[in-house]
Structure 1
């Protein structure tokens, strides 16, 4: 891909910064309502998916990660010297397909745009498309909820972050349970930091069906307001999160956690080669850029394929991906040709 086109790839994410920064203020508007399926408590969610404790079939694991490499000739995939996961691991035995968003805003993704029943109808249709395209890989559906949203306003603590309350997160847990979905709680730290924000959702991360996502785009270490620049995380931050998750897995005898990291520029993740892999955590480097297929493929190639960590993900935007010709969403069949093949798919 030509360098000018690569520059365009970097810009497609920056536009999404503005979208999220503007939409996040919805949570502050008086009378903002959360779509809820009824009262829910954390204790209601303990009997959930994610408690399969069958020991990992290491031979099958080896075959599946080789399949995901898809004939890669660079020598980077599959990632070498990765530990086998603990019993109950989802990846690479299943492909995870999720809807992303926030219940306060219809503009932040399909999860908040539709009422729960319609959302699941649409998500299940995507699941069927993936099952048809790759019958050998079962699909685990889920919801990816932005539990801490970077805001355009400073808030009481001056951190430019809107933290979703337990009531909202409980509603998401209830929605996921409708179809045995897993849950990802995503954190946009803004002017706060990941060490301060993780404990706020720990009681949910203690559950077997709840996983973690972090967004370097909104980690504003330089003190800039969210949306003004693209943020960053270092391997040190990612290692802190994975160790935090590993501690919970060991303490509560949980199956491995999936840990997604959004990425669409080089500087969003620094020192990737220092990221540590653990049996308790499965790390997904997730291609988060929007635009026409060539731009998305370039982003994936330069920042996901070229800097291997463990597993890979790919985001599809129902609206933003259609803004320029050829004005279409990439298909499962196209994504299954990538090297490596993404095992985590997110629709926004």
Structure 2
């Protein structure tokens, strides 16, 4: 905690076009900050944070092709000077930054493509003056993944900092960023762009990242660092799936053997997993006329604890009947605080009033899914947890109503559509193709193999040959 106290954050949120307003480099070098101005490229903001002066710079067009960006970045880092991207709408901000730096010369891969910025632009063949002084203390610069992020990363690197692109507004979505703050507890952290929130929020996330536990298999985000192969079912209930057909230690060993059988067909590490049905759909009304049986969390706790010790991921599966998903999820709050425990919503078993199981197929609206998603994301944030797997079961298009409205933007969650279709290979593939059509960005796909209802059951090689290759495979 002392490192966090030493990193009390001061904010400079740049407004308007003035590069001087709200910035004092001496202060920036002593604190972690959030710097943002929608009217300026990220590379200019990074340059202002990193370089008091620089007699030269490297310039690129803001629409330069990747190979030009790569060559320009290499040159800027080698010379320890800023790399600034310039286009029709950023000429004036670049001119102001060149004046602030005191830059008299510039280099470019193709000088003829660079707009007039008020100084001479030479080719990369010659040196553009002496290198700028590199910063001495560890510094992390967080950069959004938008246009110009490569130039901002190069500018940070040229100054001796570590520039990392974070695709969301939370540094905990980047394993590299987490590793950095863990290895450098006294480092400066600068967020380039308002998407990183207030200084207080950034500080809290730095604090959380320093103590963040790793997931089974390593890292802090669920995918793409691993794939999972899971036993599905409920402890002590053989009829519900293979997870309940042996004791806890035997189930762990079985899940690990299944995962190992997939490893030859995946370049990512494959880990064993449990998908435990914790609320079980019931044929009878039961307590409160809800058509669901709730398993006491204390009965599931040993499975969670021992799975975690063995490096096995656990997903808690809800079959709520006439209840709702959020109410049932909250029953298992304490289990979901474990870093290796995710959540699955089994929409087939979400009934409307007056519906009964096996007479109607259940469904859930996007609004209810989003309520659970927001609650689970807050649980992750508040308890300083790594990203959680959030599974949505589906085999019929009506099961997830308004699927395109499901929120996939919470960085705390890895959202998955799990295809539950069974039957012959053509039937399974028809279900798969239907579910993957029109899939939102940010959604991963899961696949289920059935031991008795598939004709025949796909082998690990056949399963991994499906496209897109599933990130999560369960066995029922």
CA distance in 2, matches of 1:126, 1:196: 33
Structure 1 position 222, deviation (Å): 4.0
Determine the C-alpha separation between the residues in 1 that align with 2:225 and 2:173: 13
Q: TM-score, normalization: structure 1?
A: 0.72
**Which of residues 289, 302, 323 in structure 2 aligns to 1:171?**
302
Cα 1:219–1:250 change in 2 (3 A) is: same
In the TM superposition, what whole-angstrom CA distance separates every residue of 1:78-117 from its partner, at most 9, and x where no partner exists? xxx9888724102111001111101131011110012233
> Post-superposition shift, 1:167?
2.7
Shift of 1:158: 1.1
Instruction: Identify the range of structure 1 (301-310 vs 245-254) with the bigger mean alpha-carbon deviation.
Output: 301-310
Matched, 1:290 2:422: yes
* Contact 1:286 1:304 survives alignment (8 Å): no
Q: Which runs of 5+ in 2 are unaligned?
A: 1-141, 146-166, 175-219
Work out the CA distance in 2 between the residues paired with 1:170 and 1:125.
23
Change (3 A) 1:340 1:82: farther
User: Any idea what the Cα deviations from partners look like across 1:48-93, whole Å, max 9, x if unmatched?
Assistant: xxxxxxxx9x99xxxxxxxxxxxxxxxxxxxxx9888724102111
| Structure 1 position 344, deviation (Å) | 0.7
2:173 aligned with 1:86:
yes
1:255 Cα deviation after fit: 0.7
Q: 2:460 aligned to 328, 332, 344, which one? A: 332
Q: TM-score, normalised by structure 2?
A: 0.53
Q: Is contact 2:304–2:335 with CA below 8 Å preserved after alignment?
A: no
The aligned residue for residue 402 of structure 2 is 271
Residue 412 of structure 2 corresponds to 280
- For residues 465 and 173 of structure 2, the distance between their equivalents in structure 1, rounded to whole angstroms, comes to 29
Tell me by how many angstroms 1:175 deviates. Answer: 4.1
1:78 alignment partner in structure 2? none
Aligned residues: 267
Aligned pairs for 1:1-348 (under 5 A) are: 86-87=173-174, 88-134=220-266, 136-177=267-308, 179-277=310-408, 278-308=410-440, 310-321=443-454, 327-348=455-476
Q: How far, CA to CA, are the matches of 1:110 and 1:137 in structure 2?
A: 25
Quote the offset at 1:303 in angstroms: 1.7
User: Alpha-carbon deviation of 1:215?
Assistant: 0.5
Structure 2 CA distance, aligned partners of 1:196 and 1:281? 19
Rg bigger for which structure? 2
Pairwise CA RMSD of aligned residues?
2.4
Query: What SS does structure 1 have at the residue aligned with 2:173?
Result: coil
Higher relative contact order (CA 8 A, sep 6+): 1
Residues 298-340 of structure 1 deviation map (CA, whole Å, 9 limit, x = unaligned)? 111002344345100000111211xxxxx42112222323222
CA contact (8 A) 1:305 1:339 kept: no
Whole-angstrom CA distance in 2 between matches of 1:316 and 1:266: 19
Structure 1 gaps, min length 5: 1-55, 60-80, 322-326
In the alignment, is the contact (CA less than 8 A) between 2:301 and 2:335 conserved in 1? no
1:144-202 superposed Cα distances (whole Å, 9 cap, x missing partner): 10010110111121111100012321132144145221211111110111232121111
Cα pair 1:149 1:163 within 8 Å, conserved:
yes
Distance 2:355 2:325 in 1: 16
1:329 is paired with a residue whose SS is coil
